[in-house]
Amino acid sequence: MLLSRTLKSSTFRLALVCIAVFSGTVFALLGYVYWATTDFVRTRSDREISADRAVLVQTYEKAGRDGLADLVTRRVAGRELEAGVYVLADPTRGVLAGNLRSWPPGLRGPQGWADVEVPDGAGHIRLRATYETLPDGSRLLVGRSLDELDRFVGIIKTALVYGGILTLVLATVAGVFVTRRTVGRIEAMNAAAREIMQCRLGNRIPLRGTQDEWDQLGENLNAMLDRIEELVREVGQVSDNVAHDLRTPLTRLRGRLEQASQEADRERCQALIADTTRELDVVLTMFSSLLRISRIEVLDPRVAFRIVDLDRVAGEVAELFDAAAEERGGHVKFEGTGRVPVLGDRGLLFDAISNLVDNAIRHGGPGDVQVTVRNDDQHPTVSVADHGPGIPLEERKHVLKRFYRIERSRSNPGSGLGLSLVAVVARLHQAQLDMGDNGPGLKIQLRFPPAGSSVGEPARARPQEAAG
């Protein structure tokens, strides 16, 4: 089964292409080595033959043909043909001295080089020879046996052939090994994906701890699966919370409608209808908040984000909510540092800071709310602090969930979606959301990436606030 998948995989086909290219390159290199080696050996042999011939020609020039004949006789005494071939012939090609009985046929012209075959006992021997016509018409031939060269070339050829075959085999084995390893990793991912599709959302792609590209891919996919599992869990929780939170207002609506249908007093009936309308407005507001959160989650930051002055946005929020804080015996104090650029969506940032300030006013008790904007190590940061009871440490990770409300705040109006919207906006902007103690009270901080950094690979940022 695995072998079949291996042979059908694109990795194996790519491996075959690589093997073909690699093998072709190796064989071309081996061919060049063969040609260069044999050419070098042949050239060196020719130089040795030429040097030997030059010595003989010098002897002829000094001692004449008889002196040359004596030297040739001494050279061939007791030597086999393989050790060297020397022939001195008269103008009619009759042999005067040497270790051949006759002048080799086929040697035409006054001088030159040739590969000739001459008899040697019961067989023949191949020679590489050079010949020359001397001034008196005599002919001189000097040669070397090609048998040694042929044996050397044969050894080289055999080594290259075996080397090429071994290279091809090793390349094929390596290709199959790499392919099987790759297919094995992919099959592990496919198996994990099939398990996850069977509603086993807790399963994850196995990692080997090698930190190679497969582990990096697995880590990214596992992070994506973590997010998907979280979203699926949130959808289930939202459904449960919507059903739970709607039960009470819908029950009240039903009761008021029944009262209104049975009420004879017109003014009392109108009052019940007005209460019903306000209750419906609360429900509609809750659904509007849910829809807004859902739309924010699918927003593309590359399209929506621009350069925004965070200091200015937070200042506008503080000014807007100061009157509401004053009704509760406090003020919204703002502390800025001038222009603080951040890459984001102005409307969403305004809504997120507004929700933080509104929560601080409604749940922070009497007292001032402090809104602070600063550049923290090139990271634009906005914080909202109150002096209320705060949020217990064990509750802080839950209050960012939709519809979640701590017990003491259930008597206050609200839907439990304010901090959920803040969390979604922070995630979209890749901002870090931190909750801390204000001693007393709660301090929530949003720390954004530097304005020049990439957030979801946005389009080139352009100023959104030129005026107003």
User: CATH topology for 214-297?
Assistant: Helix Hairpins (1.10.287)
Architecture of the domain whose range is 303-447: 2-Layer Sandwich (3.30)
Mean pLDDT throughout 117-145?
A: 84
Which pairing describes strands 123-133 and 139-145: parallel, antiparallel, or unpaired?
antiparallel
Q: Break the chain into its structural domains and give their ranges.
A: 11-153, 214-297, 303-447
Specify the pLDDT at position 237. 65
Query: 349: which DSSP letter?
Result: H
In this predicted structure, the answer to whether residue 464 has a pLDDT above a threshold of 50 is: no
Mean pLDDT, range 395-410, rounded to an integer: 65
CATH superfamily of 11-153: PAS domain (3.30.450.20)
* Residues 338-391 pLDDT 10s: 888 998 888 889 988 998 998 888 887 778 899 999 988 788 999 999 888 888
Average pLDDT over every residue of 116-134: 82
Write out pLDDT tens, residues 207-261.
888 787 878 888 888 888 888 887 777 677 666 666 666 666 777 777 777 777 7
CA atoms of 349 and 371, how far apart (whole Å):
14
More confident residue, 35 or 453: 35
**Cβ contacts of 20 within 8 Å, gap of 6 or more:** none
- Is the pLDDT at 50 greater than 80, yes or no? yes
How many Cα neighbours within 13 Å face the side chain of 291?
A: 6
Confidence (pTM): 0.48
For range 251-280, the mean pLDDT: 76
Residue 460 has what pLDDT? 38
CA 184, 187, 192: angle at the middle one, nearest 5? 130
Neighbours of 114 (CB within 10 A): 16
Whether the upstream peptide bond of residue 380 has omega within 30° of 0, thus cis, is no
Higher pLDDT, 234 or 409: 234
Contact 225, 195 (CB under 8 A): no
Sequence-ordered list of residues with C-beta below 8 angstroms from that of 373, at least 6 positions apart, any chain = 310, 311, 314, 315, 334, 335, 336, 337, 340, 380, 381, 382
The Cα 6–Cα 181 span in angstroms is 9
**181, 15 Cβ separation under 8 angstroms:** no
Confidence of residue 318 (pLDDT cuts 50, 70, 90): very high
Q: 160 pLDDT band (50/70/90 cuts)?
A: confident
C-alpha separations of 418 from 250, 288, 360, 401, 414 in Å: 22, 12, 11, 10, 8
Could you give the percent of the chain with pLDDT greater than 70? 82
